[in-house]
């Protein structure tokens, strides 16, 4: 029983939590890839920006991190729209590699701006011992973990409803399928691109806030997450939001469970190799199933 | 006044190297007009030029009394003109119904519902497959989805780029009779076709393009009988 408790509290729950965070980031990456046909390497730093927007809001108004989410989402979306307008849009007609490389530049710019404004030291949303809730009298789950997982589920369900039932969602999927035909159908690509930035940016902001809430806020936090997020997006098949949700969860769980002492008393892998697990999964996918687990489309 | 007219169009895919060297054509309300000609004659190019997909170097494109030269496809489609490309004419990962709904992207909601009903009546096989991914359909059914999508906004003019390409003769026959049906419902049709003889037979008028220029024009039946046209590419 003790063993099971340790497994759930120290491995499974953290796995699901980081999986939710990866999923939220990976959805943005994959949507942007579908609509704009390039890999947005600044997505991790967009997350960082979201975390710092929330930090500012929490510092100013003393909000609970969950209440700071809408503020972070709005500010991050605005940031993404500005970046798109001034940097990516003028390059839109160039080969997508140009956009990809320029997103590296944006990543550096966001990170450097944050370091200038907030310094390089770590920040925290909440200090002190965290409240936790007991389940069935045995499982002890920190409240923030419950919040994170629940919010992630709500957002993913909301995204599902948007993609399936709204005109905007269908148009987004249409542009992802065939931008040329979407144009002939009268769908304004420009509007869809903006909407994608707002959705991708908002989800990245949430992921950033959750990441900061679960640990600390630091200028490199998002950049460090780019690898597992890309792994999640590739695992699910680029351009497939549902794949990214599953991919995120799989990568998060794989990372945490890889350090569980499956055989004997020692960790299977030292926790230091967590990132390596995501990397290994990504490389294996690229070799054997480059279209993702569910057979996405690679351009 | 013509529904659509191309006047002396010199155009290409870029700012130089024209493919069309002065094409003239027009289409009146209620007509079916076919553009035929050998491979590489610029037939599809002429149609794409009308839909704002090309770089127009010289000449004018008018729709009714409006000059639409240089207008984008997004704005032309809002003037009641639909375009069905030859390839990549459906959204494969979307369901049949979603494809059709997108055809009514800028129409009011009630309009979309009525439109769906109209399309399912016109293409009964699509009703049974409405929740299937359109990418899983057969070639003929994909063509129906493509045409259905274009018909959703109830256009005054429909442009069809080789609607029977790659289809079996039976399906091609079906598509041609659909074109007649669509036309009978009040939509004018401009089509580019490889099946030149059949296309000209159902058309009010036809244009023969060669090397990006007008070569012949006239009533469809006359062109089918024209000896030079026949020798050139109708197969004698």
Would you say B196 and B234 are in contact if contact means Cβ atoms under 8 Å apart?
A: yes
B83 phi and psi angles, rounded to 5 deg: -130, 130
> Which whole number is the average pLDDT over B195-217?
91
CB pair distance less than 8 Å for B73 and A183: yes
| Per-residue confidence (pLDDT) for residue B84, from 0 to 100 | 95
Contact between chains at B91 and A174 (C-beta distance less than 8 A): yes
The B55-63 sheet, strands edge to edge: B20-27, B4-12, B55-63, B66-67
Q: CB A185 to CB B90 under 8 A? A: no
Interchain contact A174–B (C-beta under 8 A): yes
For B76, which residue in chain A has the nearest alpha carbon? A186
Query: pLDDT of B180-195, one tens digit each?
Result: 999 999 999 999 998 8
Retrieve residue A213's tokens: 């809430």
Q: Taking CA atoms, what residue in A is nearest to B112?
A: A167
Which of B73, B74, B108 to mutate against chain A (most A CBs within 10 Å)?
A: B74
Enumerate the residues of chain B whose CB falls inside 8 A of the CB of residue A171.
Answer: 102, 105
Burial class of B55 by CB neighbour count within 10 A (0 to 12, 13 to 18, 19+): middle
pLDDT at position A273 is 83
Instruction: Select the more confidently predicted residue: A291 or B11.
Output: B11
Mean predicted confidence (pLDDT) in A263-286? 84
Distance CA B23, CA B10 (A): 7
Q: How many Å apart are CA A130 and CA B159, to the nearest integer?
A: 65
Contacts of A179 in chain B (CB under 8 A): none
Chain B nearest C-alpha distance from A209 (Å): 33
Q: Kind and range of the H or E element at A73?
A: helix A65-83
> Which chain A residue is nearest to residue B73, measuring alpha carbons?
A184
The 8 Å CB, 24+ separation contacts for A8-11 are A8/A139, A9/A139, A9/A140, A9/A141, A11/A256, A11/A257, A11/A259, A11/A260
Question: What domains lie within chain A, and their CATH numbers?
Answer: 2-125+139-288 (1.10.3470)
- Coil, helix or strand at residue A66: helix
Compute the distance between CA of residue A122 and CA of residue B93 in angstroms, rounded to an integer: 44
Which of left, alpha, beta for A223 (phi over 0: left; psi -120 to 50: alpha)? alpha
Express each pLDDT in B78-109 by its tens digit: 999 999 999 899 999 999 999 999 999 988 88
Question: What's residue B233's pLDDT?
Answer: 66
Residue from B91, B92, B104 whose CB has the most chain A CBs within 10 Å, to mutate: B91
Do residues B165 and B194 make contact, with C-beta atoms less than 8 angstroms apart? yes
Tell me the chain A residues in contact with residue B77 when contact means C-beta distances shorter than 8 Å. Answer: 184-186
Lowest mean pLDDT among A135-144, A210-219, B162-171: A135-144
State how far the Cα of A125 lies from the Cα of A56, in Å rounded to an integer.
Answer: 10
Domains and CATH numbers, chain B: 1-79+193-236 (3.40.50.300)
Tell me if chain A has a CB within 8 Å of the CB of B93: yes
Are residues B79 and B63 in contact, defined by beta-carbon separation less than 8 angstroms? yes
Over residues B102-154, the pLDDT tens digits come to 999 988 888 999 999 999 999 999 999 999 999 999 888 999 999 999 999 99
Partner B contacted by A299 (CB < 8 A)? no
pLDDT of A295 higher than 70 = no
For the segment B207-230, the average pLDDT, to the nearest whole number, is: 86
The mean per-residue pLDDT over the stretch A234-260 comes to 92
Binary contact (A185, B78; C-beta < 8 A)? no
Q: What is the pLDDT of residue B194?
A: 87
Planar angle of CA B187, B206, B159, nearest 5 degrees:
35
Kindly report which listed range (A157-171, A203-217, B222-236) carries the lowest average pLDDT score: B222-236
Q: What is the pLDDT of residues B21-65, one digit of tens each?
A: 999 999 999 999 999 988 888 899 999 999 999 999 999 999 988
Residues in A touching B106 (Cβ below 8 Å)? 186
CB nearest to B105's CB, from A171, A173, A180? A171
- Nearest residue in chain B measured CA to CA from A188: B74
What is the pLDDT, as a whole number, of residue B46?
93
Q: B-chain residues within 8 Å CB-CB of A173?
A: 91, 93-94, 98
pLDDT at A93 over 70: yes
Q: What is the pLDDT, as a whole number, of residue B44?
A: 92
Q: Is the pLDDT of residue A18 over 80?
A: yes
The rounded distance, in Å, linking the Cα atoms of B57 and B20 is 10
What phi, psi does B66 have (nearest 5°)? -105, 135
pLDDT above 60: residue B236 = no
Does residue B236 sit in helix, strand or coil?
coil
Model confidence pLDDT, tens digit, residues A136-191: 767 778 889 999 999 999 999 999 999 999 999 999 999 999 999 999 999 988 99
Residues of chain B in contact with residue A176, where contact means CB-CB under 8 angstroms, are 93
Instruction: Place A2 in a pLDDT band, splitting at 50, 70 and 90.
Output: confident
Which tokens in the block code for residue A246? 């599953």
**A136 vs B179, residue with greater confidence:** B179
Averaged pLDDT, A47-67: 95
> What number is the average pLDDT over the span A39-60?
96
């Amino acid at each position: 029983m003790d063993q099971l408790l340790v497994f759930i509290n120290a491995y499974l729950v953290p796995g699901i939590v980081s999986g939710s965070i990866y999923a939220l980031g990976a959805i943005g990456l994959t949507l942007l890839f579908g609509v704009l046909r390039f890999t947005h390497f600044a997505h991790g730093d967009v997350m960082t920006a979201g975390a710092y927007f929330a930090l500012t809001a929490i510092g100013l108004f003393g909000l609970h991190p969950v209440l700071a989410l809408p503020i972070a989402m709005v500010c991050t979306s605005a940031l993404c729209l500005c970046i798109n307008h001034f940097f990516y849009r003028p390059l839109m007609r160039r080969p997508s590699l140009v956009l990809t490389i320029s997103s590296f530049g944006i990543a550096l710019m966001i990170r450097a701006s944050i370091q200038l404004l907030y310094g390089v030291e770590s920040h925290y949303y909440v200090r002190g011992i965290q409240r936790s809730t007991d389940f069935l009298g045995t499982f002890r789950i920190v409240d923030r973990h419950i919040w994170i997982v629940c919010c992630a589920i709500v957002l993913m369900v909301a995204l599902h409803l948007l993609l399936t039932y709204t005109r905007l969602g269908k148009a987004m999927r249409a542009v992802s399928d065939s931008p040329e035909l979407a144009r002939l159908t009268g769908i304004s690509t420009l509007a869809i691109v903006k909407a994608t930035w707002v959705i991708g940016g908002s989800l990245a902001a949430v992921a950033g806030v959750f990441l900061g809430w679960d640990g600390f806020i630091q200028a490199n936090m998002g950049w460090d997450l780019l690898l597992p997020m890309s792994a999640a997006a590739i695992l699910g098949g680029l351009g497939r939001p549902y794949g990214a949700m599953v991919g995120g969860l799989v990568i998060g769980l794989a990372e945490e469970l890889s350090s569980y002492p499956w055989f004997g008393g020692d960790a299977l892998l030292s926790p230091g190799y967590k990132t390596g697990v995501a990397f290994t999964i990504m490389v294996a996918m690229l070799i054997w199933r480059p279209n993702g687990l569910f057979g996405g489309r690679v351009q | 006044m013509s529904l659509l007219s191309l006047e002396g169009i010199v155009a290409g895919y870029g700012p130089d190297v024209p493919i069309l060297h002065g094409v003239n054509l027009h289409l009146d309300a209620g007509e079916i007009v076919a553009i035929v000609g050998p491979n590489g004659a610029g037939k599809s190019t002429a149609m794409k030029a009308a839909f704002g997909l090309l770089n127009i170097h010289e000449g004018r494109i008018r729709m009714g009394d409006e000059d639409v030269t240089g207008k984008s496809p997004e704005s032309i489609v809002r003037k009641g003109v639909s375009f069905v490309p030859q390839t990549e004419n459906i959204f494969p990962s979307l369901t049949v119904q979603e494809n059709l709904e997108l055809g009514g992207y800028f129409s009011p909601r009630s309009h979309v519902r009525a439109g769906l009903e109209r399309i399912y009546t016109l293409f009964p096989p699509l009703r049974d497959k409405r929740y299937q991914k359109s990418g899983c359909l057969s070639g003929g059914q994909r063509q129906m989805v493509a045409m259905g999508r274009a018909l959703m906004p109830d256009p005054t003019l429909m442009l069809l780029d080789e609607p029977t390409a790659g289809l079996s003769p039976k399906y091609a026959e079906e598509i041609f009779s659909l074109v007649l049906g669509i036309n009978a419902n009040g939509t004018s049709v401009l089509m580019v076709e490889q099946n030149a003889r059949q296309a000209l037979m159902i058309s009010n008028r036809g244009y023969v393009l060669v090397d990006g220029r007008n070569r012949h024009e006239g009533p469809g039946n006359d062109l089918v009988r024209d000896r030079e046209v026949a020798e050139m590419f109708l197969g004698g």
